[in-house]
Amino acid sequence: MSFSDYKTALVTGASTGMGAAIAERLAKRGLAVHAIARNEERLKELADRVGATPHALDLTDTAALRAAVGGLEIDVLVNCAGVSRPGNILDASEEDLDEIVDVNLRGLLQLTRLVLPGMVERDLGHIVNISSIAGLYNFYGHTAYHATKAAVHQISRQLRNDTVGKRIRVTEICPGRVETEIFGRNLGGSPEAMEEAWKTYYEGYESLTTEDIVDAVDYAIETPRHVNIGMLEIMPTFQVPGGLTFDRR
């Protein structure tokens, strides 16, 4: 099922980073793109640049989500929105835990629930979930983020069971470190925080770029209709997962 089979797409987290880049590629591929994000100003810039239809709303507001997209026929759904917070469960705040679960997991489930029945009825559709290696491997910190991304991994597989016998494809894109704003936002989001994050996490490293992720999404959608790319794990060559710690007291 190549791009020629599809007419519309819906991308979350579309105001910046991977979401914005994916929305732009899908628009260039000829799809009518609906873009969801909280940042209205950045969404307007995206709309002006690529012709996407902006929906400035909070993904955790299910009523607003239903009002905005409940009546749309969406052929390609890209669940890209996500948040992270520094620290593990020992120093996480109540608000941080709620937001991570609400955006990364609850919002994804609710949006999929709204869009998927139409795909099943039309016997046509593709869901792309952007997860993370944090959902597959253990490393220090970000406990709730790991948990939600592990859930996205399982949801991606379960959706294939939920839609068996229908021409619905589900792809999980599982990236390692990508050059985005996520670390800077974790440090507060100020220009100084963004600069600090760049120096700490990206300067001197050969990280993935948003274009690498866009190319993966493009590949998964462009494959023939009898092919489902279930999961693509994409990591920088110099980044490896795993490792074992044995703490001696």
Catalytic center residues: 145
> Would you give the distance in Å from CA 61 to the centre of its chain?
18
The residue among 106, 95, 94 whose CA lies nearest residue 60 is 106
Tell me the C-alpha distance between 179 and 210, whole Å. 7
Q: What angle, rounded to 10 degrees, do the helices at 17-28 and 210-222 form?
A: 40
- Find out whether 113 and 62 touch, Cβ atoms under 8 Å: no
What is the C-alpha to C-alpha distance for residues 33 and 44, in angstroms, rounded to an integer?
13
For residue 181, give the DSSP letter.
S
